[in-house]
Amino acid sequence: MSRPELIKDVVASIAEYVPGRSIEEIAKKYSINPSEIIKLGSNENVLGPSPLAVEALVSTATKVNIYPSADASELVDAISVYTGLPVENICASGPGMDGFLDNLMRLLITPGDEVVLPTPTFSYYEIAARANGAVAIHVAPGDELEFDVAAIKDAISENTKVIFLCSPNNPTGKLMEEAEVRDILGSTKGLVFVDEAYVEFADHNLSHLVAEYDNIIIGRTFSKAFGLAGLRIGYGLMPAWLKTEYMKIATPFNVSYPAVMAGVAALSDKDYLEKSISFTTEGRAFLVKNIPFKVYDSQANFVLVDVSPLIARDVAESLLKKGIIVRDCRSFRNAGDSLIRVTVGTQEQNEKVVAAFKKAKACSDQ
Ligand SMILES: *Cc1c(COP(=O)(O)O)cnc(C)c1O
């Protein structure tokens, strides 16, 4: 028995979040030993976590009977050092940046407010906004899948509450120019959310704009460059007035004590971060150069492959059968049916990925 009438109307029309596929699922489906599966579908850090973060986790394990500080102040202090912004501009959040988005939408959205969503992009913005009654205004991309700034500005109305910009964008890997973001910030009375989940792998970031604009929010995470996806830590950078309002409604104690201290340790581990970045940029260049299809230039820890005239489902399936998990991008709005996103792996994994794409292409050329 089910009681759908008990659920808010807005939820009925929301599509389910489609996560990357798991090792367990693929191992079972294709009868592959789980230890032989290469998971490159969720943009996780293949280096594993920083050893300093692991140490912090172990040493906090005996203290989990105590609530963490309400505002994760140890972590906020460390993020302040890392970003160069004062603590008045920083909120730590759990679970991950997704939790930050959730709290933010709960703070901002009144039913009927519009959110502008350039596509293709990360799908959770739409879910979090619509769950609170927002109306999604989607903006189609340009010819190279770039965000179309003129079209984004055209989509802005009196009712625009939030514009979501992902830079580098998931799944394209494209970075927005600072001038483009400034243009959009100046074109709306609403807020502009800039998702910098992958910014450590990119040529520039926009955190300095937080000191200059009263309508920018930047989302960040420890899940990608810092290798702590399983701990679910994110943070937001925003003007001080907004932090004050945000803290009124944020879920209390939403970053666990082990996560707070592991985050602090990860920020202190400069060697790990450097390695994570250099390893990723080198592997990324290798994939761009060697995958025998069109590969978009990327500023993130993944690349986007256009397998046309083949279709993504078939090519992704042929890789899955070999135990390589990649992301078929059909669930991303306006991504068409020929795009596959691949996380940068170790050199050995990258070579297997290239070989598998070559095989898929050779089969189709026959
Ligand atoms: C991974 C990712 C996030 C989510 O980060 P969490 O902190 O793990 O919740 C947010 N935005 C984009 C674009 C991502 O790819």
284 and 342 inside one domain: yes
CB 283 less than 6 A from any atom of ligand 1: no
Atom of ligand 1 nearest to the CA of 222: 7
How far, in Å, is the centroid of ligand 1 from the Cα of 6? 30
| Residue bearing the CA closest to ligand 1, atom 5 | 97
84 and 233 inside one domain: yes
220 strand-pairing partners? 235
| Residue bearing the CA closest to ligand 1, atom 2 | 197
CB 100 less than 6 A from any atom of ligand 1: no
Residue 327 included in any domain:
yes
67 and 41 inside one domain: no
At 285, which CATH number?
3.90.1150.10
CB 221 less than 6 A from any atom of ligand 1: yes
CB 200 less than 6 A from any atom of ligand 1: no
Confidence band of 307 (pLDDT split at 50, 70, 90):
very high
283 and 197 inside one domain: no
Average pLDDT over residues 239-260: 96
Residue 216 scores a pLDDT above 90 = yes
Confidence band of 98 (pLDDT split at 50, 70, 90):
very high
Residue 133 included in any domain:
yes
How far, in Å, is the centroid of ligand 1 from the Cα of 221? 6
Residue 196 included in any domain:
yes
Atom of ligand 1 nearest to the CA of 95: 9
- Contact (CB, 8 A) for 119 and 170: no
Average pLDDT over residues 332-358: 97
Instruction: Report residue 312 CA to chain centroid gap.
Output: 21
Domain final position from 268, 293, 315: 268
Confidence band of 364 (pLDDT split at 50, 70, 90):
confident
CB 229 less than 6 A from any atom of ligand 1: yes
At 140, which CATH number?
3.40.640.10
Average pLDDT over residues 315-340: 95
- pLDDT, position 119: 98
Average pLDDT over residues 243-254: 96
214 and 319 inside one domain: no
CB 97 less than 6 A from any atom of ligand 1: yes
183 and 219 inside one domain: yes
| Residue bearing the CA closest to ligand 1, atom 11 | 197
104 and 133 inside one domain: yes
Residue 53 included in any domain:
no
Atom of ligand 1 nearest to the CA of 233: 7
Residue 184 included in any domain:
yes
pLDDT, one tens digit per residue, over 40-91 is 999 999 999 999 999 999 999 999 999 999 899 999 999 999 999 999 999 9
- Contact (CB, 8 A) for 187 and 163: no
Domain final position from 232, 250, 268: 268
160: CB partners within 8 A, 6+ apart: 113, 114, 115, 116, 137, 188, 189, 190
The residue whose two tokens read 């990925």 is 353
Give dist(CA 41, CA 195) in Å, integer.
19
Q: How many domains does the chain have?
A: 2
- pLDDT, position 56: 98
Atom of ligand 1 nearest to the CA of 122: 13
227 and 313 inside one domain: no
Residue 57 included in any domain:
no
291 and 249 inside one domain: no
pLDDT, one tens digit per residue, over 101-130 is 999 999 999 999 999 999 999 999 999 999
CB 170 less than 6 A from any atom of ligand 1: yes
Residue 18 scores a pLDDT above 80 = no
Percent with pLDDT over 70 in the chain: 100
CB 201 less than 6 A from any atom of ligand 1: no
Give dist(CA 255, CA 105) in Å, integer.
18
- pLDDT, position 78: 98
Residue 56 included in any domain:
no
Residue 160 included in any domain:
yes
88 and 129 inside one domain: yes
Average pLDDT over residues 208-228: 98
Mean pLDDT of the chain: 96
**Domain that residue 358 falls in:** 4-48+271-365
Count of CB atoms situated within 10 Å of the CB of 218: 25
pLDDT, one tens digit per residue, over 146-198 is 999 999 999 999 999 999 999 999 999 999 999 999 999 999 999 999 999 99
CB 286 less than 6 A from any atom of ligand 1: no
How far, in Å, is the centroid of ligand 1 from the Cα of 196? 9
Q: Note the pTM of the prediction, 2 decimals.
A: 0.96
Atom of ligand 1 nearest to the CA of 121: 13
CB 122 less than 6 A from any atom of ligand 1: yes
Residue 132 scores a pLDDT above 80 = yes
Residue 308 scores a pLDDT above 90 = yes
143 and 291 inside one domain: no
96 and 207 inside one domain: yes
Domain final position from 245, 268, 291: 268
Give dist(CA 127, CA 109) in Å, integer.
12
